[in-house]
Amino acid sequence: MAQRAFNLPNMLTYARIIAVPLVVLCFFLEGHLKSSDFARWSALVIFLLASVTDYFDGYFARAWQQTSNIGKMLDPIADKLLVATCLLLLAADTDRHAGIAGWSLWAAIIILCREILVSGLREYLAALKVSVPVTQLAKWKTTIQMVAIAFLLAGPAGDKIFPLTTQTGLVLLWIAALVTLYTGYDYFRAGLKHIMGE
């Protein structure tokens, strides 16, 4: 059991969870929420490294046949923690008017609400011994979310190099929100069959 818990795929998942407070820390380097250029680039590097582990933990688990229950449980949780934390940070950072604000907040709310609702659905169906597989579109949804957040983390710092960095991030965030809505509906439609059958 201990050997499975500390295999490489699981260690990569743990690293992704550890990355969450590190990203937050980048925004609080000066003792309060402030997104200096250094803070944003630091947060982006940590976020990108964490996002890469999302691919490799699954790849190594399959390639080396090192799948485990703890890995199956923590992998989606690590993704949701990383996405939710970054969205909340970007929404809270109003210092430079280059985050999630105004109408863009709705995109973040859609994403967060969907993740909570689907997690609740999965927990309920798990009690019924029903597994809801992750669709290919749901994987694309996660990828679009991660790319959007990466652009938004760079934000004003990135705008100095590529002037449309923030705007690109916001457009991708809305695309992610729309795909999120559809995949959420898809999961509920599949889960509803089992719920109504009870």
What is the per-residue pLDDT for 33? 80
Each residue's pLDDT tens digit, 87-120: 999 998 876 556 788 889 999 999 999 888 888 8
Helix (H, G, I), strand (E, B) or coil at 7: coil
What is the per-residue pLDDT for 13? 85
What is the per-residue pLDDT for 124? 75
What is the per-residue pLDDT for 71? 66
Neighbours of 44 (CB within 10 A): 21
What total of structural domains would you count in the chain?
1
Task: Give the structural domain span for 10.
Answer: 1-196
CA atoms of 188 and 114, how far apart (whole Å):
10
Neighbours of 78 (CB within 10 A): 24
CATH number, domain of 47, equals: 1.20.120.1760
Cβ proximity of 128 and 195 under 8 Å? no
Which stretches does DSSP call E strand in the chain? Answer: none
Q: How confident is the model at residue 196 (pLDDT cuts 50, 70, 90)?
A: low
pTM, entire model? 0.87
Each residue's pLDDT tens digit, 7-60: 777 788 888 999 999 999 998 887 778 778 898 999 999 999 999 887 877 777
Q: How confident is the model at residue 186 (pLDDT cuts 50, 70, 90)?
A: confident
Each residue's pLDDT tens digit, 146-183: 999 999 999 989 999 999 999 999 999 999 999 999 88
CA atoms of 77 and 14, how far apart (whole Å):
11
Each residue's pLDDT tens digit, 56-72: 777 776 777 767 677 67
